[in-house]
Amino acid sequence: MCWRIRSLGYTILHIDRAMVWHDLAMTRCSHYWQRVVRTGCAFAKVSARFRGTDSPLWSRKSDRNLVHGAGMMALMSGGPVLSIILRSLFRSRT
């Protein structure tokens, strides 16, 4: 909404004081994981919606998230493969 208001030429004013208190109540790793997934989906949807406009909203952040996610998947899948290869190399020497 703020992006649309600014694109119409208006200025957004704010009060320099906390108006709400957010209780995240994340007590388990699954809570954090669900939050990360929802945030990633929001970034992807908004950046896809505004990608072709004059001011693409969140496109760099979305691209960065994609690169980080691909890197994490490579580490998660490459780690076990690398450990199997290294183990077989060291066993063949003995």
Tens of each residue's pLDDT in the chain, 94 residues: 887 888 889 998 888 888 888 777 888 899 888 988 898 888 888 888 888 877 777 778 778 888 998 999 998 898 888 888 888 888 866 5
Q: What residue spans of the chain are helical by DSSP H? A: 2-7, 29-50, 59-93
| CA dist., res. 68 & res. 46, Å (int) | 18
Question: For residues 12, 37, 46 and 2, what is the CA-based torsion angle, rounded to 10 degrees?
Answer: -10
Per the confidence metrics, is the pTM higher than 0.85? no
Spatial contact of 32 and 38, defined as CB atoms under 8 Å apart: no
Closest CA to 62 of 46, 79, 81: 46
